A and B are shown apart, each in its own frame.
Chain A
Amino acid sequence: DGGITQSPKYLFRKEGQNVTLSCEQNLNHDAMYWYRQDPGQGLRLIYYSQIVNDFQKGDIAEGYSVSREKKESFPLTVTSAQKNPTAFYLCASSLAGSHTQYFGPGTRLTVL
């Protein structure tokens, strides 16, 4: 089945540790996105990538890093510099030039 997968579903991290969230898609989409969602709020864009080996910062990129070495994969690293990383993280993808974004099931990150 085609779709977007994110792993893990739940992730617990100690303060001061970096952690990497996985996002993989087999939809042959060119563009991929990472969003953060806090309780009772809408999504905020962290990073996006329109082609392999290229990515741009979104509105809240500080404390996060990404890579886009393959078209199918867009991992997000939450670094220790992110002051309040506990949140729900959503990955999305879309065809180039398309307005429609397809979302993965999300990863809930909790910092202990």
Chain B
Amino acid sequence: GIQVEQSPPDLILQEGANSTLRCNFSDSVNNLQWFHQNPWGQLINLFYIPSGTKQNGRLSATTVATERYSLLYISSSQTTDSGVYFCAVARVDSNYQLIWGAGTKLIIKP
């Protein structure tokens, strides 16, 4: 099956810093999503980005499908950005069955 690897596993930054989170996947996908899980467990979909670049406020994401990786950029970090960021992909033949990485735990210190 598809393997999804996220790096770094943990990241601690001061408020205002920028960060880059990486997601590598082992096979072709036509569905890649980034999610944020807050400290209370609530998951929010950030981006659907099987290829190309998207931006939403201080967050942006880029997926290079041919090289099998995606990057999530967070600029001017705020304490509310803390939590775990997950990358999830779906096999080409099964668009609904997401395979999840282990996540990057981000802590933003005031």
Q: Which residues of A contact B (CB under 8 A)?
A: 31, 33, 40-45, 48, 50, 58-59, 88, 90, 92, 94, 99-103, 105-106, 108
Contacts and interface: CB of A to CB of B under 8 A. Distances in A.
Contacts of A33: 96
Nearest to B40: A105
Given A42-B4, A42-B103, A101 B98 contact: yes
A45 B8 CA distance: 24
A99 B65 CA distance: 17
B97 A106 contact: no
B33 A99 contact: yes
Nearest to A106: B41
A50 to B, nearest CB: 7
Contacts of B100: 42-44
Contacts of B4: 42
Interface in B66-110: 86, 88, 95-98, 100-103
Contacts of A90: 41, 43
A43 B42 contact: no
Contact of B102 (A41, A88, A94, A102): A41
Given A88-B41, A100-B48, A106-B41, A43 B86 contact: yes
A24 B40 CA distance: 20
B88 A42 contact: yes
Given A40-B102, A45-B97, A108-B41, 16 more contacts: A31-B96, A33-B96, A41-B102, A41-B103, A42-B102, A50-B96, A94-B96, A99-B33, A99-B48, A99-B95, A100-B45, A100-B48, A101-B45, A103-B43, A103-B44, A106-B42
> Closest 5 CB pairs between A and B?
A42-B100, A103-B43, A43-B100, A106-B41, A99-B48
A106 B42 CA distance: 7
B31 interface: yes
